[in-house]
Structure 1
Amino acid sequence: METSSIFDPFNAGLYFLTPVPLCLKTMATFLQNGLTFFEKKINLLIVDDDAIVRDSLSGIFVSPLFNISTTSSWAQACDTIEKSQGPWHCWIVDIDLGKGQCGLDLLSRYPEFKYTIVLSGLGRMSLAAEAIRLGAAMVFDKDPLSIEPLHDKVCKTAALGFLLNGKRCAHIELFQILFDETITTIEEWARRGCIELRKLHRICELYPPLTPNYALALYRAVYCLLRNP
């Protein structure tokens, strides 16, 4: 992967893009750890056998936070994934990769990775349920491909992958609640997840250095920076 440049969250207006009330202690932690996070890139992998689609998708995600890699086959994707020196934060994978290759095989090979957007052409949407079962965050019909919804969903998924460092997460559905932009407090987050606030704290502690406030603030900030570069 290419060497990433340091991205300055202050110049990006990080404070103004974070609609989450933070106590002073949480803000101090956010700044201390957030700066370390923002020295990294968000690694996005696009897997599609159509060069035009690969180029088109690459041109959609213009945030300087993105580090984009593209491959045209299942074998190339596996090779790229395994040779990466850093974590992956989001994959965009076409179901039909040509020559009998199926993009869902990538999900089967890496079942712990829950930050994948699957693209499906006409006649392949019957595999959507299977893609979700295998852990895909969302399935989009690429004939025609709705760019705006796809862009938004990828930004949300990539922000979550960045928050959790692309790692396996046994509580992924709880964190996916953050996709809802109406969630602005940890109390709302806990209520939506049907859990007590203290349990939310305990779950976040499993993914250091996260706390509920810090996780919510960092996710919102990263999403806004990706969505509005």
Structure 2
Amino acid sequence: MLKTVEQKKLYIVFDDSLISDNIERCFDAQFWLKQDKVVGSAKGRGTTWFVQLAKMQAALRHYRRGGLFGKIISDHYIFNGWQKTRSVAEFHLLQTLKQHDVNVPKPIAARVIKRNFCYQADLLSEKIPNAQDLVAVLQQRPLTETEYSAIAIQIKKMHQVQVNHTDLNIHNILLDNDGKAWIIDFDKCYQQQGEAWKEANLQRLLRSFNKELNKRQIKWTQNDWQSLFNAYQQF
């Protein structure tokens, strides 16, 4: 069940079936470190901390800006209401996708701290167990037609919910040990009517395959793309 904490400068939404204790402290990496529940980390724009909860492992991410502007204002965003903040919007988008049986991380908790006209944001979401992104997998081996079909089906299901993944690339698609495909990182993504943008999503994904082919010599060919595209069209 979803619950909220709302104060003048603080807003938290969380799933109390996944986390309930210390909800106001669970966005602090030091809180988890002191309990010896940090099981790993990953570097991106900032550090994503992987922590052990009672029912699953989770990824704790603090929202940070990229690019040149991010070097000036690293983690502050203009405030236009709690529901329009990046962490709360991503939390609810993940909820919607889960309800429509799309393989995405379970949203656990989102926090917003308001600071005058700006805010800072954090998200705690499920860490998909025993999974690697497509870049890591394709550096080791080519994917099977069945695996490309699994990826295509999740993208199609996402599109059927009218969710525009504005950064659909092969770093944001995972394969787990059971061959299930997962889509991650829905920051700045949203539901959108119409159809034309879906082709743009697919073209962005195709560009990322070609980019990593040139950059890392991944085990991928244009025929593999045709397998994925055919499965997408047929689902």
Q: TM-score, length-normalised on structure 2?
A: 0.29
More helix by share: 1
Q: TM-score, length-normalised on structure 1?
A: 0.29
More strand by share: 2
Q: Which has the larger radius of gyration?
A: 2
Query: Quick one: higher RCO (CA 8 Å, sep 6+), 1 or 2?
Result: 1
